[in-house]
């Protein structure tokens, strides 16, 4: 992949960049010339991806992030901005999937899914949007899911959380 600097230097933070959609998104954005803060709990995987991106000529930094912890979110944003500059784009894709029948799933597991997917996205949004508003520039991307249109069995908490994301996005756009 050729890495060409983007004409407008727009630092990006990708939450959930240690695997899956987040890692693919971060690598694609870096290849498009965006400086990227790779964030997640699995810092070793982030560092491997950051090394791959920088070895190919891109700009990336690995920053620890636990979206279930507000202080971790605030620290992550501060570290990313110290390394790359004011965040212009944030992609909120941190998450996992705990499966089980809705009536058998422990309440703690259900709550954890809401905390990661919905509350975690909100924590990140709340940490970066004031700066974007102040600068009158920035984009925040919430990663949703088709399960809000076509729910699947054994994933009630995930479906509920992603439906919450849809509601949050609708109100954020109205505001």
Active site residues: 158
Q: Which residues pair with 36 in a beta bridge?
A: 12, 60
Phi and psi at residue 71, to the nearest 5°: -65, -35
Dist CA 80 CA 157 (whole Å): 30
Give CA 86 to chain center in angstroms.
16
């Amino acid at each position: 992949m050729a890495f060409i600097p983007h004409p407008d230097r727009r630092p990006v933070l990708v939450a959930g960049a240690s695997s899956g959609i987040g890692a693919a998104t971060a690598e694609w954005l870096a290849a498009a010339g965006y400086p990227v803060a790779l964030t997640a709990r699995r810092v070793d995987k982030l560092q491997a991806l950051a090394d791959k991106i920088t070895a190919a000529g891109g700009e990336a930094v690995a920053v620890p992030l636990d979206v279930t912890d507000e202080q971790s979110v605030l620290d992550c944003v501060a570290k990313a901005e110290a390394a790359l500059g004011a965040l212009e784009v944030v992609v909120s894709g941190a998450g996992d999937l705990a499966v089980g029948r809705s009536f058998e799933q422990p309440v703690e597991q259900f709550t954890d899914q809401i905390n990661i997917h919905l509350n975690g996205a909100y924590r990140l949004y709340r940490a970066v949007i004031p700066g974007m508003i102040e600068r009158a520039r920035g984009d925040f991307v919430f990663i949703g899911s088709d399960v809000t249109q076509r729910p699947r069995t054994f994933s009630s908490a995930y479906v509920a959380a992603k439906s919450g994301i849809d509601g949050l996005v609708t109100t954020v756009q109205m505001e």
